[in-house]
Structure 1
Amino acid sequence: MRGVAAPASSGWFISALGAAQICSWGTLFYGFPLIAEAMRGELGWSKPTLYGAATLGMLLAGLAAYPVGAAIDRGHGRVLMSGASVIAGLLLAAWSQVEGLIAFYAILAVLGCMQAATLYEPAFAVIARRVGPMNARAGITALTLWGGFASTAFIPIIQFVIETQGWRGALLVMAAVNMAICGTLNFLAIDPSKDAPVHPAAAGAPPPAAGRAAVAAAMRKPAYWGLMLAWISFAFTFSSLTYHFFPLLLERGLDSLDAVAVLTVIGPAQVAGRILVVAFAPSAPVRSLGSAIVIVFPFSIIGFAIAPPELFVIAGVAAFYGAANGMITIVRGMAVPEMVTRDGYGAVNGSLIGPMNIMTALAPLGAALLWQASGGYGAVLAVILGGSVMLCAGFWFAAAQSKREGQQMAAKK
Structure 2
Amino acid sequence: MNTSHASGHKLFYGWWVVCAALVGMIVSQGPVLVFTFGIFMKPLAAEFGWTRSQISLALTVAILSAAFFTPWVGKLVDRHGARQVALPALTLFGLGVATLAFLPSNLVIFYLWFCCIGVLSAGGTPTAYAKAISQWFVRRRGLALGLSMAGIGLGAGLMPMIAQQAVGAVGWRGGFAVIGVVVLVGMLIVAWKLRNCPADMGLHADNQAAGAGPKPELTGLTKQQALRDRNFWLIAIAFFLAALAINGCSVHFVPMLTDRGVSPADAARTAAVIGLALIAGRVAAGYLLDYLFAPFVTLFFFSGPVLGIYLLYSGATGTEAVVSAALIGLGVGAEVDLIAYLTARYFGLKAFGEIYGYLFAIFCVGTALGPLLMGTGQTVLGSYDLVLLGFVGCMILSCALMGFVGKYPDLGAAGGPVSGKRTLASPA
Instruction: Output the TM-score relative to the length of structure 1.
Output: 0.86
Say if 2:75 is the partner of 1:70.
Answer: yes
**1:314-325, aligned counterparts within 5 Å?**
314-325=321-332
How far 1:324 sits from its partner (Å)? 3.2
2:260 to 232, 252, 255: 252
Tell me the equivalent position of 1:202.
none
Letter in 1 for 2:254: F
Tell me the equivalent position of 1:290.
298
CA contact (8 A) 1:130 1:194 kept: no
Letter in 1 for 2:75: A
Tell me the equivalent position of 1:304.
312
CA contact (8 A) 2:38 2:251 kept: yes
- CA distance change for structure 1 residues 150 and 54 in 2, over 3 Å: closer, same or farther? same
CA distance in 1, matches of 2:178, 2:44: 16
CA distance in 1, matches of 2:13, 2:291: 14
CA contact (8 A) 1:130 1:195 kept: no
For residues 34-65 of structure 1, what are the alpha-carbon distances to aligned partners after superposition, in whole Å with 9 as ceiling and x for unaligned? Answer: 12321111121222221222211111111111
CA contact (8 A) 1:23 1:177 kept: yes
Give SS of 1:96's match.
helix
CA contact (8 A) 2:14 2:137 kept: no
How far 1:173 sits from its partner (Å)? 0.8
**1:149-228, aligned counterparts within 5 Å?**
149-179=154-184, 181-192=185-196, 193-194=200-201, 208=219, 214-228=222-236
How far 1:317 sits from its partner (Å)? 2.3
CA distance in 2, matches of 1:2, 1:108: 49
The share of aligned pairs that are identical, in percent, is 20
How far 1:217 sits from its partner (Å)? 1.1
Say if 2:125 is the partner of 1:119.
Answer: yes
CA contact (8 A) 1:218 1:341 kept: no
- Higher mean alpha-carbon deviation, 320-329 vs 224-233, is at 320-329
For residues 301-338 of structure 1, what are the alpha-carbon distances to aligned partners after superposition, in whole Å with 9 as ceiling and x for unaligned? Answer: 112222543x1221022212222332343322201122
CA distance in 1, matches of 2:109, 2:147: 38
CA contact (8 A) 1:223 1:340 kept: no
Letter in 2 for 1:16: A
CA distance in 2, matches of 1:2, 1:87: 39
- CA distance change for structure 1 residues 251 and 236 in 2, over 3 Å: closer, same or farther? same
How far 1:171 sits from its partner (Å)? 0.9
CA distance in 2, matches of 1:26, 1:245: 14
How far 1:237 sits from its partner (Å)? 1.0
Q: Which has the higher helix share?
A: 1
Tell me the equivalent position of 2:134.
128
CA distance in 2, matches of 1:404, 1:84: 34
**1:45-64, aligned counterparts within 5 Å?**
45-64=50-69
2:20 to 16, 19, 29: 16
CA distance in 1, matches of 2:345, 2:2: 26
Tell me the equivalent position of 1:101.
107
How far 1:218 sits from its partner (Å)? 1.4
CA distance in 2, matches of 1:376, 1:87: 37
Question: When the two structures are aligned, how many residues end up with a matched partner?
Answer: 395
How far 1:4 sits from its partner (Å)? 7.8
Tell me the equivalent position of 2:395.
388
Instruction: Output the TM-score relative to the length of structure 2.
Output: 0.83
**1:17-56, aligned counterparts within 5 Å?**
17-24=21-28, 25-56=30-61
How far 1:286 sits from its partner (Å)? 1.0
RMSD over aligned CA atoms reads 3.1
CA contact (8 A) 2:308 2:327 kept: yes
How far 1:405 sits from its partner (Å)? 8.5
What runs of 5+ residues in structure 2 fail to find an aligned partner?
A: 206-216, 418-427
